[in-house]
Chains A and B, each alone.
Chain A
Amino acid sequence: MNLTIDIIISGLINGSTYALLAIGFSLIFGVARIVNIAHTAFYMLAAYCIYVVTQKMGLNSVWAMLAAIVLVTLLGMITYKFLINPIREHESAVLIATIALAIIFQEILLNVFTGTYLSVPALIDGYFTILGVKVFYQQLLTFCAALLIMGLLWALLGKTRMGLAIRSTAQDREVANLMGINEARVAMMTMGISVGLAALTGAVVVPLTIVEPHMWLSPLIMMMAVVVLGGLGSLKGSFIGAYILGFAEALVVFLAPMGAFLKGSVALTVMILVLLLRPEGLFGVYFEEER
């Protein structure tokens, strides 16, 4: 029984993290066809930003979160403007540029903070017990924040004019442009939202993880698996795919022997099995081939 609750909690937390990351990644891919490998590097930057503000400057965690989100979003938009936008037409060049960007962030952090493992205190201390299992308030908070953010994003995309512009650009760039939507500005905004989501994820998840300069790699792989599983560009797919893989990972960690080593393998195998049955992912639509 305890094991079941452990699995559920761990699955929900993992799933929410992956969902937040994958939605941001999926959004910018859908709108601007940018595969942003540096997405989780922005997540890492937010985590470090919070570490600096709370531990080095001694300010409150709430300020730290705000600062992290604003700064990282700005940085994301600047890099989009000066690095990604000029080479957007070359798909492979964008891939390499974002990989290089992620490596640059990693190296800068490695030089500034060295490779030591850092940690950040929880926003709220303490825990409560359900059926004899400790649930930390921070875990509950992370989960609730993730749900809240996803709700807000859904409202933004579904109910506002800007959301409409983003969705129509994602469906067809040229027609959206003909309808009077400033495509370049929408792409810029989407990049901001996407990086902002990554920063937010970093901000709510950071107390539960270890902060170190290579922390971007493992969520990157899981995030990509989620996005491919759910279908590229589909937000609903990313959401559901994230929980599928989050629970798959939790089940393996708690049930299989040597699970910690195999968790990535099993989650990725799940992804490949689904792709064999549905090559476009669970909820993906094949984009009209752009010839």
Chain B
Amino acid sequence: MELHSQSGHQLLDLIKNKKTTAKEVWESLESRVRAIDTKVNAYVRKDEKREPSLKPDSQQEGKLMGLAVTIKDNICTTGMNTECCSKILKNFSPPYDATVINKLKTNAASIFNLKANMDEFAFGSSTENSAFMATRNPWDLDSVPGGSSGGSAAAVAADEAIWALGSDTGGSIRQPAAFCGVVGLKPTYGRVSRYGLIAFASSLDQIGPLTKDVEDSAILLEAIAGHDQYDSTSVDIAVPDYKKSLGSGIKSVKIGIPKEYFIEGLDPEIKKIVGEAIDQIKKLGAQVQEVSLAHTEYAVAVYYIIATAEASSNLARFDGVQYGLRVEAGKDSSAGMIEMYKKTRGSGFGQEAKRRILLGTFVLSHGYYDAYYLKALKVRTLIKQDFDHVFKELDCIITPTSPSAAFKIGEKVEDPLKMYLSDIYTISANLAGIPAISLPCGFTKKGMPVGLQILAKPFDEETIFKVAHAYEQATPWHKRKPEL
């Protein structure tokens, strides 16, 4: 097997045993990207000159031993542009590294010197909203990879990355992981520092790993997790040794299946595959029972009020004054500054960004705030209480990650509502702040991957890893590779 096809922990073993070096792995990745990324389009700005950021041999002492990590284009990296795949951040070169980047470096990782494609500002579920180009699903180049971390997911699936970081606001790690047949984890809100993640919705955003298997997910989370004085929403709880939670069996684990997730709108083929996965988990000895998350039906509505409200505020800073794109007002204009704002934002933001800014501005406006934003906050609390209630008795919850497998490029671009519904199963975890993983649980007849979602109580990523790893080791899905 070629180096780029291996998982992270396999490569760490090979390096430890002096069978290969981080440099050889890096070179293997580079040649893989050269060979196939013109087809997949996982990476952006490939023609730009940038510093090679492979750690020199002398600095590879540490957990990640110089192995490269692929970074989504909304996580700040020095020496490499960070543009959120938006025209408005054209040529933005951050003067600082995000906390997760510093942590990766402390753990002796190299930062891969290409950034992964994404929906502009993480607004989307297909990576079609990137201002640069659409990424293609490695399992079917006419299908979307999911989004918004579609570049990160496709890169891992196509062996153009060993592993990658994405960000998840309503499913942006898990849904593309499901579509591309990889493992994607959204950690508990506050588990990973958001400092340096260009914000979409601050109360929902969380950075997490996209990996080839569950063990890699545990390794990468451990490397990036922990309290950060620069992020007041990060929580000061010790980071466990996540690898210890792997391989211990799931005999006593109590699992809930929420009935609200298996209703109309769920593709029957997905329903069947997820059902088989649940049976498999039962066979492994877990106790499975049906539960109710009564407020599930409101999640999408609540999410699109809170997320867009916060986004409209977070995106206010892109005004052409300090960085990124500026479109001058023109000399004849009397109201130069306002014109400059309008022209810059008018031409810098894509259609979906504009839609969300308008929606968010509306729900925060005087006279509408109480009816929309405040009401949404209240329902958010109810959704969180549903989970609290279930987790009093049970250890985790299992659902499908998305109601369908990857859809075709262009299929949903004209219908934002349909697009929004592809996140219907992932949104609740962000609203409740709880951790959730997606891992491969089978393939459709057309050969497209299907994702299984496991959710647990806040800061209990260990249970997620335990159950996910047990299932993964009992099934062949994570070993299958797309033909490219």
Asked if A and B are interacting partners, one says: no
